Every structure is written in C-alpha cells, then in structure tokens.
Amino acid sequence: MEDPGLKRLFERNRAWAKSMTDRDPDFFTRLVRQQTPDYLWVGCSDARVPANELMGMAPGELFVHRNIANLVHNIDINLMSVLEFAINVLKVRHVIVCGHYGCGGVRAAIERQEYGLIDNWLRKIKDVYAANREALDSEPDPEERLNLLCEINVRQQVLNICHTSIVQNAWREGRELAVHGWIYSLADGLLKDLGFTIENAQSLEPIYHLPGVTREIGF
C-alpha cells in the first residue's frame, strides 16, 4: 500500500520544479552543465538547518557535507573525499564549518547516557569538553554551557580541517583558501560568524605543518 505522505513528496517536487522553470526557463539546463560553487559547507545533519535555504542560495551554489554535530574526523573517508573534491576539483575558495545552538549531538555527548553506535562518533566532542573544561564548567547555566560547547566544537572542527593534507597542500600551491567557523541559531534563523577564520598554515601550531607549507617549521 502506497504511503500518501510519500506521494505528497513527489507532488511537492513537481510543484517546485515547475515554479523554478516558471521563474527561469533555463534554470535546469544551466544546472545540468556544471556546478561551480565557491563554498563548501560542513554542517550538522539536523533537519532544521537547511544550508542552501538559510543563506538564500540556489542549487549549484553551495557544495554540502553534513553529519551529526558537524564533526571532522580525519579517518572519515566520506568527509575527506568531499573535502578533496571540493578543493581540488571544484576549486572552492571558502570552507564553512557551521554548527548550531542547542545541537542534539553535542547534548548527547555530554549527557553521560548510552545511545549506541553514535557514542563512538560523538566521543570527539567529549575530548573537546575535556580540553576546555575550565571555561565550560565556569558557566552555571546548562543551556548556555551547551551553546558555548557548540561554539568551541565549531572552532575545533575548523582546526581539524586545516590540519589535513588536503588543505595544507592547497596552501602550499599558493591557492586562495579560507576555512571559517560559523554558528546558526534555530531561535531566529540567523547565522553568526565566530570570528575564527584560518587562511594559511602560519596560523596553526607548527607541529601540524606539513613540510614545505611554511618556510619555518619551528624545529
């Protein structure tokens, strides 16, 4: 028996496609030819954070990777493949790591409850908490503490991206590439720039430098 909810999804798809061609008859023709985004978005899987929509971007303008709690694991072949394709093939100039306040993944990481397989994925957030325990524990309000951790987590994931050979090789080649840390508020739909942008390897601790990325490694 066909689920009427699924049928409605196809009806909405047809309505959306028609609305796009009504506004711009050549929209899909152009879209088929190529995608040339300047931006890679690394965000949370949360269904309330639609990357294209919240920035008012059309399909083809933003390359997107999403996972629970917008984490960057260097052994995550999915994310690493997306990062390499975005930088080396699409030639994006900006990588945006965007978390969001009230993130359920961040909350699950610090609640000290067992959820299953996801506990292994979220363990990296526990590491972030442990490394910033003094600042986090000094915040008495639990929700404010959660949101502070959401911000700190974004900054750490920016660093994790910058530590990859993919990004550092782009810098070594003299490519224009910046990695930004942003956060999104579900309460008002607004993005916030955390003021954490890295544009070269010199901004990283020397231990993370690949040979040849900077003139002086520090050893």
Would residue 48 show up in a list of annotated catalytic residues for this protein? Answer: yes
Question: Model confidence over 78-136: pLDDT tens digits?
Answer: 999 999 999 999 999 999 999 999 999 999 999 988 999 999 999 999 999 999 999 99
E strand or H helix that includes residue 118: helix 118-131
| Strand, helix or coil for residue 40 | strand
**Residue that is written with structure tokens 């750490």 in the block:** 156
- pTM of the prediction? 0.90
| Strand, helix or coil for residue 11 | helix
pLDDT at 135: 95
98, 103, 150, 162: the active-site residue: 103
pLDDT at 217: 39
Question: Any idea what DSSP says for residue 201?
Answer: G
Would residue 46 show up in a list of annotated catalytic residues for this protein? Answer: yes
Question: Model confidence over 123-169: pLDDT tens digits?
Answer: 999 999 999 999 999 999 999 999 999 999 999 999 999 999 999 99
For residues 166 and 74, give the distance between their C-alpha atoms in angstroms, rounded to a whole number: 11
12, 14, 30, 48: the active-site residue: 48
172: Cβ contacts below 8 Å, ≥ 6 apart: 201, 210, 212, 213
Question: Model confidence over 175-196: pLDDT tens digits?
Answer: 999 999 999 999 999 999 999 9
Residue in 217, 209, 202, 100 with CA at minimum distance from that of residue 150: 100
65, 66, 100, 180: the active-site residue: 100
Would residue 100 show up in a list of annotated catalytic residues for this protein? Answer: yes
Count of C-beta atoms within a 10 Å radius of residue 115: 12
The stretch 198-213 carries a mean pLDDT of 89
Share of the chain above pLDDT 90, in %: 84
Please say if the pLDDT value at position 219 is more than 50.
Answer: no
Question: Any idea what DSSP says for residue 86?
Answer: I
Domains of the chain, CATH where assigned? 1-33 (no CATH), 35-208 (3.40.1050.10)
